[in-house]
Copies of this chain bind each other. A is one copy, B any other.
């Protein structure tokens, strides 16, 4: 399959009666180089006429840039987050003419991780880990190879630099406070088993309880697995058997939010009449269920956009930017 027109800057130069260099100068707005207006116009006309498009591969070759960023995520990434973040990343990169190269985080030995290979073979100039689990080993390795990367995640990875996350934990206080203002007596928690000490959701929740004069009752805390059925069982069991019964639940993630609602439906518990529910996280789906689920919405698009800015800055200047914490928002829908 041959490429159609394939007109090069050489063709443009010939057509305009100038040299290739001049074309390049004009195209890249090289500073310190002044081009006579009529020359510029001639070149511009030639470009139009020939429908010329600079070959980015060749450009990348010369500049030793792939003009592309690897976005790595886990397989089966929770759909709740990913697309919106990707949109932000895309737009952020687009402004500087970088493109999105989607990769997955799966490998046996770190040396032959896909994203490392891609970097080594010059296919990407840097990496954004988008809600992927990044191990200390990985970070160490990347640092040692001085591969530019940025991590976007709900909570800080501990790296401290080149990292985008949100302040959603702050809102847990607000949620508890909101529950209290509604006269809630017993607040339950449903969330995943913390996979690392960095995940502060449960701790913050407990603190919030205490600071609002609630007791911390372990039987009102459900820590679930990846298995939806098991989680449901755990939640329904808590809902039925605990004493006292909760009249509010904080769900630590979108999935747990959905499953809490599901559990209530199964037990015929009325939301928000019998029990109020708020989920941490964003999802379009919160509007597709009854009642619409209140939540702490993450600034997903902005997180992606910011991550894009960061990685480009990192690549350009070797600049290591601080941790960037973006504001989330407590949105009250009908479930609370």
Give chain A's interface residues, CB within 8 Å of chain B: 1, 3-6, 51, 53-58, 60-61, 64, 66-68, 75-77, 79-80, 82-83, 86-87, 90, 99-104, 117-118, 120-123, 145-148, 228, 255, 258-259, 261-263, 265-266, 284-285, 287-290, 314-318
10 A-B pairs with CB atoms under 8 Å apart are: A3-B64, A3-B122, A56-B123, A67-B123, A79-B79, A99-B101, A228-B288, A259-B288, A262-B290, A263-B290
Indicate if the CB atoms of B265 and A1 lie closer than 8 Å.
Answer: no
Indicate if the CB atoms of B255 and A288 lie closer than 8 Å.
Answer: yes
Indicate if the CB atoms of B56 and A122 lie closer than 8 Å.
Answer: yes
Indicate if the CB atoms of A75 and B87 lie closer than 8 Å.
Answer: yes
Within 8 Å by CB of A121, from B53, B68, B316, lies B53
Minimum distance in angstroms from A311 CB to a CB of chain B: 11
- Chain B's closest residue to A7 (CB) is B120
Alpha-carbon separation in the docked complex, A290 to B64 (Å): 54
Alpha-carbon separation in the docked complex, A82 to B86 (Å): 12
Indicate if the CB atoms of A285 and B285 lie closer than 8 Å.
Answer: yes
Indicate if the CB atoms of B99 and A118 lie closer than 8 Å.
Answer: yes
Alpha-carbon separation in the docked complex, A290 to B269 (Å): 12
- Chain B's closest residue to A254 (CB) is B288
